[in-house]
Structure 1
Amino acid sequence: MSTPIPPDRRVVTPAFLRGWPLPEPERGDKSARGTVLVVGGSRGTPGALLLAGVGALRVGAGVLQLAGPESVATAVGINVPEALALSVPETDKGSVSDTAVDFLSDLLGSAQAVLIGPGLFGVEETQRLVARLVEKVGQEAMVVLDAYALRGLRPETVAPVAGRVVLTPNVAEAAALLERDRHELDDLAEAARSAAAKYDAVVSLFGHIADPDGRLWVDESGHIGLGTSGSGDVLSGLVAGLLARGASPAQAACWGAHVHTTAGERLGARITQLGFLAREILDEAPLVLDELQP
């Protein structure tokens, strides 16, 4: 028997989400559904940039811009022909350099959602990049931080975007955010709430979504098969795409988590729980999203 959910936690279900509908675009053109700028990738992990970017499109974002290291940007653009692929300076390790901000200023100021982290490499280099990018995003832009963008993150770094940022850590990254040992995170709800309060951000941690104001939502769907390479990149992209469409940080995190886990459940039933690929979640996501619409 599962542990009962305390009254201060809302369970994310299809019925709950239908009562919290996503914003509908006022016009039919792509700009009405928002622009997502994804900054990420490296020579060793260009696919993370692809997975996150396509995830944003799969939940209805209108325009996708992918900024990756110059050594991989062209290949990423060929594999995601729907996106504007931007080649930016890279570090000696093949990740995005903080000097890339000088090439992205105009795009940072006009994107509705900026996702930073999928596929990046190097803690110190990435934190310099994150700090400079956050300073340049538009005054109303939403920000998602994932993967290496969370390692070494400090509250003051995200202070300029307080109230409009979503963190999507795995358990190890959540432990680092809270400066704890990973084995100390036996209560994920408490960890999500603590991180949300510390960084003044919505935190999506393994089905536990916490708002800085203390609210908590729990998505009980999903299974072990979602713990597969690239799955987190897909989730961060789903959240960014929903933010670009006009969802609030908490709403985007709840909808994104449920679409992600439900897509995984369907793939687990059709393929087997262990063995489906993160890229296959991308194809399932719009079908799940459509069924959740009120």
Structure 2
Amino acid sequence: MKDVSQEPLPLLAGRGAESHKGDFGRVLLIGGAPGMAGSIAMSALSCLRSGAGLVTVAAPAASAPVVASFCPVYMTVAIGKAEDFRESLEAATVVAIGPGLGENWDTLLPLVLAANKPTVIDADGLNALARGSMLENVHARCVLTPHPGEYGRLVGDASLAAKATGDDAERVEAAGVLARRSGASGAVLLKGARTVVADGERHAINKTGNPGMATGGSGDVLTGVIAGLMAQGLGPFDAARLGAHVHGVAGDLAAARLGQISMIATDLIDELPHAFQRLDPTPF
């Protein structure tokens, strides 16, 4: 695979004076089972902070009101059965599934994959992918975002799983293998101290971020960032690469302000605007 780590980061297009919210994508986020409502709420907030025009959260009926209570800016849909979110799925330009989803909603993932839309699969979405042996159904517009444990469940190979926690070369190899094993070689973001992004033909190693980001919810924030970037037109590899960079910068800014020990995931959301400003020299 070609190493593009040193090539310029992909950037979002500028916003025209006549732009409206519909120009920046409609994102559907699916997750937030009872007891885990905060996971998908953080994804939704980070998606909005990453520039998505409209965000809807589909959550199980028992937790949808809790998800809605976190913020008035995104919309919510209560799922009692799989069909309840079909209308929202059809309207979405980008879908993200997994944060706080739990183990009882595996039937949602095949519907999402069949919609063939730009999709981020994380957390319990990845576990559902592994349980259902659906890796061959992943299409080229998907981003998979496993940590090493989720990676091992997806590949079902102990030696490959060990490489997911190895040195840079081994992690690059591991990410590339998973990208090529997916149905049409979507992008893989292998989480870790030096996150690897690969699509089977190229890879990049991210160098932003710090150990303070090893805290619950950090990955949920990353899911939202990537989905927001895809909603604005970036492809899977570019969205994952830029998302990992911005997510790490937000973590570095939070660490500088609060210290690594006291950081929590919502601090990353608070720093996303400043992280994006560092990409754009235009004064505000």
- TM-score normalized by the length of structure 1: 0.85
Q: Distance in 2 between matches of 1:156 and 1:25?
A: 41
Local SS of the residue matching 1:120: coil
Contact kept in structure 1, 2:52 and 2:229, CA below 8 Å: yes
Q: Distance in 2 between matches of 1:22 and 1:159?
A: 30
What pairs with 1:193-208 in structure 2 (closer than 5 Å)? 193-199=176-182, 200-206=185-191, 207-208=195-196
Aligned partner (choices 35, 38, 43) of residue 44 of structure 1: 35
What pairs with 1:221-240 in structure 2 (closer than 5 Å)? 221-240=208-227
What pairs with 1:1-294 in structure 2 (closer than 5 Å)? 8-11=2-5, 16-17=8-9, 20-25=10-15, 27-89=18-80, 99-100=81-82, 102-122=83-103, 125-135=104-114, 137=115, 139=116, 141-153=117-129, 157=134, 162-181=139-158, 182-185=161-164, 186=166, 187-199=170-182, 200-206=185-191, 207-212=195-200, 214-293=201-280
Amino acid at match of 1:153: L
From the superposition, tell whether residues 158 and 290 of structure 1 become closer, same or farther in structure 2 (CA, over 3 Å).
farther
Amino acid at match of 1:216: H
From the superposition, tell whether residues 263 and 228 of structure 1 become closer, same or farther in structure 2 (CA, over 3 Å).
same
- 1:156: how far off? 7.0
Contact kept in structure 2, 1:38 and 1:67, CA below 8 Å: yes
**RMSD (Å), alpha carbons:** 2.0
Stretches of structure 2 that go unaligned for 5 or more consecutive residues are: none
State the Cα deviation string for residues 172-220 of structure 1 (Å, max 9, x = none).
11111111334453221111111111112101112100013x2001111
Contact kept in structure 2, 1:143 and 1:161, CA below 8 Å: no
Identity, in percent, stands at 32
Local SS of the residue matching 1:292: coil
Stretches of structure 1 that go unaligned for 5 or more consecutive residues are: 1-6, 90-98
- 1:132: how far off? 2.4
Q: Distance in 2 between matches of 1:35 and 1:194?
A: 31
Q: Distance in 2 between matches of 1:167 and 1:241?
A: 15
Local SS of the residue matching 1:115: strand
- 1:160: how far off? 5.5
Amino acid at match of 2:90: G
Q: Distance in 2 between matches of 1:34 and 1:116?
A: 16
Local SS of the residue matching 1:204: strand
Q: Distance in 1 between matches of 2:255 and 2:181?
A: 35
From the superposition, tell whether residues 105 and 152 of structure 1 become closer, same or farther in structure 2 (CA, over 3 Å).
closer
Q: Distance in 2 between matches of 1:152 and 1:66?
A: 19
Q: Distance in 1 between matches of 2:28 and 2:267?
A: 22
Local SS of the residue matching 2:72: coil
Q: Distance in 2 between matches of 1:173 and 1:161?
A: 16
Local SS of the residue matching 1:263: helix
- 1:292: how far off? 0.6
Q: Distance in 2 between matches of 1:152 and 1:38?
A: 16
